[in-house]
Chain A
Amino acid sequence: MTLDERLIAYLDGELGAQDRAGFEAEMAADPALAAKVAQHRRLGARIAEAYAPVLDEPVPERLLALASAANQAGRRRVGLPQWAAMAACLALGVVAGRELWPERGPLAAHDGALVARGGLDKTLTTQLAADGGAIRVGLSFKAGDGRYCRTFQSAPDRLAGLACRRDGRWVAQTVTAWAPQSTPDYRTAASDFPAAVLTAVEAMRAGETLDAPAERAARDRGWKP
């Protein structure tokens, strides 16, 4: 450990008895070190104090309501079993795919699944999250089985969803209605993504979402697991 690492470990109570005694002996012999320790101790206290008042603030009603199961019914889906929310979304997608875009929609039925086609397929395959456009890709991540999955939002199709790569196609896992501007009365936290899509992401991902370099690398490898 460097001296600085030992210094903060000492302050945070992370040194064993022997190392602590050794460090205290060093401080006793070195006033400059002792002064630095005191400075860092005051800094730590100041930082903790700066945020302490938050604990005494009243918790906003929307957070209390969200966390209490009794208030959830009819307001949001998160309390439902995962499959129910996903089935509902997929059903919407199937209906939409058949009835709204019989021939040329963004999704088509294929082997019992909904797969991306046309512009959506091309976007999911080639576009990075940093790129703009009418259809945008949001989060990319690896699912538990190693396949890549990506969220998308399509302004022209007015839908958002999550699709995972399988056998060279993007298979929709969940699809939901989405408009570019979020409605004022339903606030999906700090996010542009519909709650149903985020819930599906949470249920499927293994580890963190990809950052920009990892996303680019995965694309350049053709989204092969």
Chain B
Amino acid sequence: MASFEREIVELLPRLRRLGRVLARAPSDADDLVQLTVERALARRAQWHRGTRLDSWMFRIMKNAWIDETRARARRGGLFAPEEAGEGVGADGAAAMEARLSAGEVERAMARLPRDQRLAVALVLVEGLSYQEAAEVLEIPAGTLTSRLVRGRTALMAELGEAAP
């Protein structure tokens, strides 16, 4: 396997995680990853070796997701219904609690406007720096910061940690 493909394979877990933040339902998230990988392979000549492959693929995923949400909005209904993202299974109480908490986070994230969700996903979940995230989203750093503030404020209101 050529190194480009190998690096993509190594990125798949992170692409799936970002996909889950954006599309929520696991099957939709993996469809988004598939679309992203297809597009990356089709335009591999545009990737410059020595630059970050993860940022480049995140940008492709961002564009793919925006395209998909626009195409699907037209057909009515964005991705699967909310319930489709819920985890199932029954094991220990700790695991169940973690899953319930994760479910709340996912629901709150799904209610964020698209731009804020992207900003929060790249910085809080993927751990990108502001500069890297702004480059992925193709926006100025100031715009990224204000989206992060609005996104986090909404999540705080939604997930409502009681004031100490």
Given contacts A51-B125, A78-B42, A189-B32, contact A9 B9 (CB under 8 A): no
A35 to B161, CA, bound (A): 11
From residue A162, how far is it (CB to closest CB) to chain B in Å? 13
Chain A residues whose C-beta falls within 8 Å of the C-beta of B101 in the assembled complex: 46, 49-50
Tell me, yes or no, whether A190 is within 8 Å of chain B by CB. yes
Tell me the B residues contacting A by CB distance below 8 Å: 1-2, 5, 8-9, 12-14, 16-17, 20-21, 23, 28, 30-35, 37-39, 41-43, 63, 66-68, 70-71, 74-75, 98, 101-102, 105-106, 109, 120, 123-125, 127, 129-130, 138, 145-146, 148-149, 152-153, 155-156, 159, 161, 163-164
Subset of 19 A-B contacts with CB under 8 Å = A4-B153, A5-B146, A14-B129, A44-B152, A49-B98, A51-B20, A51-B102, A55-B17, A56-B13, A57-B16, A63-B33, A64-B9, A67-B12, A68-B1, A78-B41, A190-B23, A190-B32, A190-B68, A191-B68
Stretch at the interface among A16-24, A90-98, A108-116, A197-205: A197-205
Additional pairs, 4, CB under 8 Å, beyond known A40-B152, A208-B63: A44-B124, A67-B12, A191-B31, A208-B66
Nearest residue in B to A210 (C-beta to C-beta)? B70
A129 to B71, CA, bound (A): 8
Number of A-B contacts (CB under 8 A): 161
Chain A residues whose C-beta falls within 8 Å of the C-beta of B30 in the assembled complex: 60, 62-63
Chain A residues whose C-beta falls within 8 Å of the C-beta of B42 in the assembled complex: 78, 82, 198-199, 202-203
A47 to B101, CA, bound (A): 9
CB pair B155 A59 closer than 8 Å: no
Tell me, yes or no, whether A220 is within 8 Å of chain B by CB. no
Tell me the A residues contacting B by CB distance below 8 Å: 1-2, 4-5, 8-9, 12, 14, 35, 38-40, 42-44, 46-57, 59-60, 62-64, 66-70, 76, 78-79, 82, 129-130, 138-139, 187, 189-193, 195, 198-199, 202-203, 207-209, 211-212
CB pair A190 B35 closer than 8 Å: yes
From residue A179, how far is it (CB to closest CB) to chain B in Å? 16
Among candidates A50, A78, A191, residue contacting B71 with C-beta atoms closer than 8 Å: A191
Chain A residues whose C-beta falls within 8 Å of the C-beta of B20 in the assembled complex: 51, 54
Chain B residues whose C-beta falls within 8 Å of the C-beta of A129 in the assembled complex: 70-71, 74
From residue B159, how far is it (CB to closest CB) to chain A in Å? 6
From residue B118, how far is it (CB to closest CB) to chain A in Å? 12
From residue B63, how far is it (CB to closest CB) to chain A in Å? 6
Given contacts A4-B149, A208-B66, contact A198 B38 (CB under 8 A): yes
Name the 7 nearest CB pairs between A and B, nearest first. Answer: A190-B31, A189-B35, A50-B105, A50-B102, A54-B17, A189-B34, A67-B8
